[in-house]
Structure 1
């Protein structure tokens, strides 16, 4: 019988972990897996950047570049790990939520991200607020991994988007490096993408023009 990962063309993190453990590498060993491959390294100088083009390719979305298909597949695999765990917990609503995110990511991987939302602005990700555990409810959990904030020992901490949804930073930062929206409510956040900026500016101009037309009609009615 095919596994969830086989059905979704994802690498099984359990098999990957066993393989990596033979080589002394860390695998998918916790509910919040190692996300170092998503995060840009500031300690690399120009020579290192030139000699590590392959290892830093997955950082392009976080550095203002065009997301690669592998970025979407890696995030889908990460969410797949959360999804498999939910099967034993019986939270069908959260399983469906993760299924939708994984399907979107795999579709974007096939399209190289060209038809999806752009990455969030680098400055927005950098300035995400740190929320202390005391500021969240005792039963509140990260929308993505579904881990209770009070019980989660993630070193990255908790953050909140402008739409008021709370997340483990480990979960939301990789998403924002590929999408400028909340995965729960789809509220948009700023992006550095020039097409997105132009679209927002055109929408604001159209709104102002419509409001001015209404005001003019009211004055002369």
Structure 2
């Protein structure tokens, strides 16, 4: 996608206090499509093939502007989520949450434990919170039970930030020059904070959502 085409698509986005500056029809006409959902899916697959983070964002902007469904995007989004070259993890979790499908459970469960690099600053664990709420909306409580168990780090070799992940960082700290020790100690403190927040989510949010999603059994009336 050229810079001019990105500017065209960005015109569909709603800014702070500003409305869209372009219409969906203009974008569709430029790309030679008649349906926003079809165009969005085409742009998403193309961006994934080229591993272009900016064009993934453009594809999701078209998807939102077209108010398209998520069903056709299920497989691409599940494939895209664990990739480490984009920044759309929160949008993917939000979109998968709309489906309320058991097929999304493994991806959403992973999102409760994994912290992408660009979200290292977020001690509130917004991605995990979104994923837990999405799991709670899926019929049955199997997703919430999966979220209790962190995924095995070796199962995702391209994702080094699976929580808890401070042990490897602490081992590496001893072998680093002294100039890096302060940064490493700060990272360890941040990681410990994420772990405390994560344990709080598992201890409070998941049991509460499990209670909401577990069907109540009617008590027998006394004879």
Q: TM-score, normalized by length of structure 2?
A: 0.23
What is the TM-score when the length of structure 1 is the normalising length?
A: 0.23
Q: Which structure has more helix as a fraction of its residues?
A: 2
